[in-house]
Amino acid sequence: MGSTDPAAFWDGVYADRPAAADPRPNVRLVEHVTGLPPGDVLDLGCGEGGDALWLARQRWRVTAVDVSDVAVRRLAGLAGAHGLDRLITAERHDLAATFPSGAYDLVSAQFFQTPLALDRAGVLRTAAYAIRPGGVLLVVDHGSAAPWSWNQDPGIHYPTPGEVLGGLALDPAEWTVERADVLRRTATGPGGETAEVADHVLAVRRAV
């Protein structure tokens, strides 16, 4: 697996990939957000930056964070190249230690999964309470591994949406579950290959 330091590990993952000129957004994010009025969004684990760029094009004000300096610098460069730098703020955070300031109408955690030690439930809980009344926490996880995935551990457990919700320990009087689904789709890999994969989708809305 290489380094167990999160920044070094993820810097290595992104440095090993050629930088995309216009990375694609995640399908489940597009499905959920299309038609919503834009506001302030926190993109946890922004990675290649496809989600942040797409959200900004829909006029969302995006705070995009990642532990990888490589990912953050690439996104900042792309935001400028696409004329979206006024709508995208890219910040490096090791979310085990620091968290971005601000309040949000949407927190998006798309495939915010790591083989390294991280209190993910604690990070997502912190994110949930940075959401304004009426806002949404959207968590989309891998439910299976694509053949091109960096993580091919056959013993890995993919938490169900219900398990993710249980780990958050949110007050049901304050939060409403809008989606808790296992969905399948055909994904396309970096070399153009395709495979069927499962997505675990959880969306919870904070009461007004």
Kindly give, in sequence order, each residue whose CB lies less than 8 Å from that of residue 152, ignoring residues fewer than 6 positions away: 145
CB 187 within 8 A of CB 147: no
pLDDT confidence bin for 1, thresholds 50/70/90: low
* Domain layout of the chain by residue ranges: 6-206
With 70 as the cut, is the pLDDT of residue 196 above it?
yes
d(Cα 41, Cα 38) in Å, to the nearest integer? 8
pLDDT confidence of residue 185: 92
Give the residue-averaged pLDDT of 129-153: 88
6-206 belongs to CATH 3.30.470.20: no
Average pLDDT, the chain: 94
User: Which element (helix H / strand E) includes 197?
Assistant: strand 194-206
Count other C-beta atoms under 10 Å from residue 158's C-beta.
15
pLDDT grade for 120, boundaries at 50, 70 and 90: very high
Q: What is the mean pLDDT of residues 104-132?
A: 95
Decide if pLDDT at 59 tops 60. Answer: yes
Percent of the chain with pLDDT over 70: 98
Q: Token pair of 184, please?
A: 């399948």
Q: Which of 35-44, 91-100, 143-152, 199-208 has the lowest mean pLDDT?
A: 143-152
Question: How many whole angstroms separate alpha carbon 152 and alpha carbon 104?
Answer: 34
Nearest to 77 by CA among 66, 61, 88, 65: 88
- Do the Cβ atoms of 159 and 141 come closer than 8 Å? yes
pLDDT tens per residue across span 61-87: 999 999 999 999 999 999 999 999 999
- Tell me: pLDDT of 23 over 70: yes
